[in-house]
Structure 1
Amino acid sequence: MKYKPELGILFVTILWGASFAVSKLIMADITPNYYTFLRFAGAFLVLAICFHKRLRHIPKQTLQAGVLIGLAIACGYVLQTMGLNYTTASKAGFLAGLYVVLVPVMESFLCKCLPRYNMILGVCLATAGLALLSLERDFTIGFGDLLVFVGAVFFAVSMVLISRFASKHDPMVLAIIQIGVTALFSLVLAVFTEPGLSAVQFTPVLLGLVLFAILFGTAVNTAVQNWAQGYLTATTAALIFVLEPVFGGVFGWLLVGDVIGMKQISGSALIISGMLVTLLLKPGQRAQSKADQGVQLSGRS
């Protein structure tokens, strides 16, 4: 099939969108950090078994890079998952997508150059969307929205780090290390901050949702993403990834009954516009190449 890679990225994007609603359902019964641990520990085992030959001899530099990126990703997922307890799945999907806008801006500052006009316009549109989507009537931002947004900042940091290390290391090995670090980080937080898990909590429905999160919310989409992006430009992949918040909103409405009114639609449209402006209006070649690398090997998995 001619468009297999594009369909692969679209499949990954749909799974990411669905994972917000699935996570919301799971956290009705499991605390956030224990859920994050179960999700990523399970995915780590699946990928480690599937790619065990690549893990036999991991260079020290690869391990160090994977741990550093993994810490940023772990912070992103922990904050995002905790934030889902206080906001809707559809809003979380749009707020988490802000990493697409933040990456090139961070890169421009690291390169010690002024942000290009597309970055400034994209950030302005996304910020307006963030305000419309998240600000309450007294102009305060919801606690859950704030956690998800800070999580998006950490995702952007992880992508910038990946752009520094990915070309020097096996991307699948890096991904497995990152997932393992996220599992360990969330377990430590869970042990010290949350009550323990009980086997009674795991009903057949809950087990099915957790298995979905492990396999299709983390493991399968990581493998498919790594395969598909070997055949696509980073910009093409990123443009498909922009649909993630849309699918997040759809699944939030279908599965958990999120209310989507004009305020939510308008704010979400501004955020997506900011993403598209950032991606389609080309920045300078130097900043673009680094940002593209980060998008191509995104830490979201």
Structure 2
Amino acid sequence: MKPSIRNGYTLEVLFIAGIVAISFSAIFIKWSQAEVSVIAMYRLYLANLMLLPFIWKYKQEIARLTLRQWGLLVVAGAALGLHFLLWMGSLRFTTVASSTVILTLQPIVVMLGSFYFFRLHANRAMIIGMGIALVGSFAIGIGDLRLSGAALYGDMLSFLSVIAISMHMLLGKQLREHISAYVYNFWVFAFAASLIALYNVFNDFSFGGYAQSEWGLFILLALIPTLFGHYLFNWLLKYMNASAVSMAILGEPVVASVLAWLLLNEKLTLFQLGAGLFILLGVWIFVRYGKETNRE
């Protein structure tokens, strides 16, 4: 059922719930001792296992998918899988605060993709906001380089994951105009998980032998940040533009950093805090005052 968009309350509540859900992802990953690619594979396969009982309801829609739509689903899934590999890998080298705050560059990358693929034009506010956010991101990289080269490497992985998830969202916006949230998510998750599974086979990573606590974390990742986070945001793409949905990433570093402080005993340095706020300011200006216009 389509939510009431007139007052916007339903969308706002779901939007906030999704932000809280995805913020737990970094915590669960930090707690796990498994390879990040194994974690990513199982969070997606288990999410699909939870969705599987409903697939019969959508059998006719699946049968109507065109060859082009199947191709786009594969590419969208590959982009999501690559995002998980890169971002989850970044958490092994840098802090939750640094990794998640770099993800806030996502709305800018999504908008740049919209300019290129959908022929949209940026106004001055977008350019100013983009510049401020990029300066903040550069500052985090310089600050983490002072801590260790590994931290900077983690920051770079996080930034590359932004490119991948932005491609995923742009494709998702196009596909969700004609495909239900269930069909889109089920197949994108399946293709992403299968790509990561091939990566695990190639690297000879074990598919089993994990402790019960690890399986518990896999299930929590599938349920909370994947279904209540990524699935929800992909559903919202039907009713909101891709740039607006990507704004959810603005709340993640705030919630994730608080959770990391409470649950992981990670501390925020003043430099990290200042650079992070600089990025948030830039992206806020970009989204709040920026306007999309079609190029002639």
TM-aligned CA distance change 1:192 to 1:233, over 3 Å = closer
Aligned equivalents of 2:174 and 2:54: distance in 1?
26
Which residue matches 2:46?
42
Aligned equivalents of 1:194 and 1:63: distance in 2?
29
> Which amino acid is the alignment partner of residue 38 of structure 1?
Y
Q: Does 1:125 align with 2:129?
A: no
Which residue matches 2:283?
275
Q: Summarize the alignment of residues 175-214 of structure 1 with structure 2, pairs less than 5 Å apart.
A: 175-199=185-209, 201-203=210-212, 205-214=213-222
Match of 1:149 among 159, 182, 194: 159
Range moving further from structure 2, 256-265 or 166-175 = 166-175
Contact 2:21 2:225 in 1 (8 A): yes
Q: Does 1:137 align with 2:139?
A: no
Q: Does 1:286 align with 2:290?
A: no
- Deviation per residue, 1:253-274 (Å, 9 max, x gap): 2222222011111111111112
Shift of the alpha carbon at 1:114? 5.7
Q: Summarize the alignment of residues 160-239 of structure 1 with structure 2, pairs less than 5 Å apart.
A: 160-199=170-209, 201-203=210-212, 205-225=213-233, 237-239=245-247
Shift of the alpha carbon at 1:134? 2.1
> Which amino acid is the alignment partner of residue 76 of structure 1?
H
Match of 1:75 among 77, 82, 86: 82
TM-aligned CA distance change 1:113 to 1:5, over 3 Å = closer
Aligned equivalents of 2:278 and 2:59: distance in 1?
43
Tell me how many residue pairs correspond in the alignment: 283
Contact 1:127 1:271 in 2 (8 A): yes
Aligned equivalents of 2:132 and 2:249: distance in 1?
18
Match of 1:52 among 34, 53, 56: 56
Shift of the alpha carbon at 1:246? 1.0
SS of residue paired to 2:146: coil
Structure 1: gaps spanning 5 or more residues: 288-301
> Which amino acid is the alignment partner of residue 185 of structure 1?
L
SS of residue paired to 2:177: helix
Aligned equivalents of 1:223 and 1:158: distance in 2?
13
TM-score normalized by the length of structure 2: 0.85
Q: Does 1:22 align with 2:28?
A: yes
Aligned equivalents of 1:18 and 1:64: distance in 2?
31
Contact 1:65 1:174 in 2 (8 A): no
Range moving further from structure 2, 51-60 or 213-222 = 51-60
SS of residue paired to 2:294: helix
Which residue matches 1:91?
98
Shift of the alpha carbon at 1:194? 4.4
TM-score normalized by the length of structure 1: 0.84
